[in-house]
């Protein structure tokens, strides 16, 4: 397979490169890419550049929770990270939560294999200390089971873990709704009058958990608005991604991140 980074550097007229260039020149306010994540990331960094002070861009996904929604990052840009990268991801995630979710003082959690302080790998312990000593509203370690519970508004992890957890949670939510629907099929066949009471809340839950509703994830840390969509995105997901990009472009998120990493 062709290396995404090399392809972007060699093919200066590739669509993702041209799209990033249009944003950099101010001819577009944002872009949506459902192509290779690696190519999109490389093109964005080369054409838009990183915000001054940003060590590494990160992919931030909006995740459904039991209340107002949350942010998970990194969701796939950086499989391997240093403590300072994760710390900065937290600051950028807070800026996104404030702008998109209207949360005044977002809580921050570190994804780990236990909630107690001292859990996890050496990098997790170092990041824990950095977050604890910062001005961020850090609530400690959170576990995978907390992801959709709203335990923290911003959940921070490396891109390898974040991508795996995100895909797993999306698939689990989708399958769970399908299993409930299948389990109710016999009951509804015998008692069709119950459908009007049972189906609306089930549909509401499915819509709330549907990743197509969110469309894509924000690439934070580059000097422009970039949305990363699934390569398998359908029409609904692309429409949602375009809508999200339009909204984010009007929120001043890039400037908010610029301020957060310089403080």
pLDDT in tens, 31-51: 999 988 999 999 999 999 999
Q: Which of 85, 5, 13 is nearest to 37 (CA)?
A: 5
pLDDT in tens, 210-259: 667 777 899 999 999 999 998 888 898 899 999 999 999 999 999 999 99
For the chain, what is the domain count? 1
Half-sphere exposure of 118 (CA within 13 A, CB side): 1
Tokens standing for 104?
A: 């005044």
Peptide bond connecting 171 to the previous residue in cis, omega within 30 degrees of 0: no
**Model's pTM, two decimal places?**
0.89
Task: Give the integer Cα–Cα distance in Å for 92 and 220.
Answer: 7
- Structural domain of residue 236, as residue ranges? 4-262
Strands 216-220 and 58-63: antiparallel
Eight-state DSSP code of residue 221: T
- Confidence band, pLDDT 50/70/90 cuts, at residue 209: low
CATH number at residue 88: 3.40.718.10
- Confidence band, pLDDT 50/70/90 cuts, at residue 3: confident
DSSP alpha helices (H): ranges in the chain?
A: 4-10, 15-24, 37-47, 83-101, 122-132, 159-190, 195-209, 235-249, 253-262
Other beta carbons within 10 Å of 128: 21
For residue 189, the model assigns a pLDDT of 79
Tokens standing for 193?
A: 């009058």
Question: Residue 195 pLDDT > 80, yes or no?
Answer: no
Consecutive H or E run containing 113:
none
Task: Give the integer Cα–Cα distance in Å for 80 and 82.
Answer: 7
Task: Give the integer Cα–Cα distance in Å for 154 and 150.
Answer: 9
């Amino acid at each position: 397979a062709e290396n995404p980074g090399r392809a972007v550097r060699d093919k200066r007229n590739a669509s993702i490169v041209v799209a990033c260039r249009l944003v950099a020149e101010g001819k577009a306010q944002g872009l949506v890419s459902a192509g290779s994540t690696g190519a999109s990331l490389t093109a964005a960094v080369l054409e838009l550049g990183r915000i001054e002070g940003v060590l590494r861009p990160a992919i931030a996904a909006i995740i459904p929770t039991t209340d107002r929604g949350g942010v998970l990052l990194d969701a796939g840009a950086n499989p391997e990270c240093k403590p300072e990268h994760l710390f900065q991801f937290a600051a950028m995630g807070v800026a996104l939560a404030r702008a998109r979710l209207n949360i005044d003082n977002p809580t921050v959690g570190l994804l780990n294999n236990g909630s107690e302080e001292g859990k996890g790998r050496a990098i997790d312990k170092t990041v824990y200390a950095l977050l604890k000593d910062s001005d961020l509203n850090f609530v400690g370690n959170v576990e995978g089971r907390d992801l959709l519970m709203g335990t923290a508004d911003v959940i921070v992890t490396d891109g390898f873990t974040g991508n795996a957890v995100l895909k797993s949670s999306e698939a689990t939510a989708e399958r769970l709704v399908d299993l409930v629907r299948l389990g109710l099929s016999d009951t509804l066949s015998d008692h069709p009058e119950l459908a009007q009471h049972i189906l609306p809340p089930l549909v509401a839950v499915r819509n709330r958990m549907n990743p197509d509703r969110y469309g894509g994830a924000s690439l934070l840390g580059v000097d422009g608005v970039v949305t990363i969509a699934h390569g398998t995105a359908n029409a609904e997901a692309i429409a949602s991604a375009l809508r999200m990009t339009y909204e984010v472009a009007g929120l001043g998120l890039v400037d908010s991140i610029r301020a957060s990493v310089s403080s």
